[in-house]
């Protein structure tokens, strides 16, 4: 069985399982997350099955970001939120559970009580930072 046949988000696109649609066009589909961080939490997904964010075609990725941010604005206007997070988990260790790339639009209120568990490390020296930077740049491919 192919990845696409089994994939829960491909099933949503094909209408095989129900979803609460917010928006769709030729490239993408957006719907309410079934277990929202805050009410109105939306997922924006490409119609085509890609696993990782770097595989998504540029026009589709651009559309996902554009529509995601517009939905974020709509969440603020309609449900009185103060802001929103756009979040994408790439890889299981990053928290990706559904292996069909997707962008979360998480509406945020000033006092919603939710905190990303964000830690902040430090580079031990300038040379360590430079070494890290050079390694990244060396592998950067388009
Ligand atoms: P991630 O952890 O980034 O892979 O996020 C997967 C998201 O998909 C989670 O927030 C789930 O709540 C959501 N999800 C899983 N199944 C469904 C579904 N059938 N309809 C809507 N959202 C879903
Ligand atoms: Zn899929």
In this structure, which long-range contacts are made by residues 57-65, counting pairs with CB atoms below 8 Å and at least 24 apart in sequence?
59/27, 60/27, 60/28, 63/25, 63/27, 63/28, 64/28, 64/103, 65/103
pLDDT of residue 7: 98
Q: Confirm whether 44 is domain-assigned.
A: yes
Q: Per the domain annotation, does 128 fall within a domain?
A: no
Residue whose CA is closest, atom 12 of ligand 1?
Answer: 35
Question: Which protein residue has the closest C-alpha to ligand 1 atom 3?
Answer: 96
- Quote the ligand 1 centre to 20 CA distance (angstroms): 12
Domain count for the chain, please give it. 1
Tell me the pLDDT tens digit for each residue of 104-141. 999 999 999 999 888 999 999 999 999 999 999 999 99
CATH classification of the domain holding 22: 3.30.428.10
- 126 lies in a domain? no
pTM score:
0.96
């Amino acid at each position: 069985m192919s990845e696409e046949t089994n994939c829960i988000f491909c099933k949503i696109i094909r209408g095989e399982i129900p979803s609460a649609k917010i928006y769709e066009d030729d490239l993408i589909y957006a719907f309410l997350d079934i277990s929202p961080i805050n009410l109105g939490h939306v997922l924006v997904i490409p119609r085509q099955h890609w696993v990782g964010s770097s595989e998504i075609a540029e026009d589709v990725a651009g559309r996902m970001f554009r529509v995601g941010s517009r939905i974020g604005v709509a969440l603020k206007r309609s449900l009185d939120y103060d802001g929103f997070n756009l979040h994408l988990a790439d890889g299981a260790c990053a928290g990706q559970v559904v292996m069909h790339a997707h962008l979360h639009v998480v509406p945020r209120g000033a006092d919603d009580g939710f905190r990303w568990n964000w830690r902040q490390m430090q580079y031990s020296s300038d040379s360590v930072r430079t070494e890290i930077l050079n390694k990244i740049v060396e592998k950067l491919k388009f």
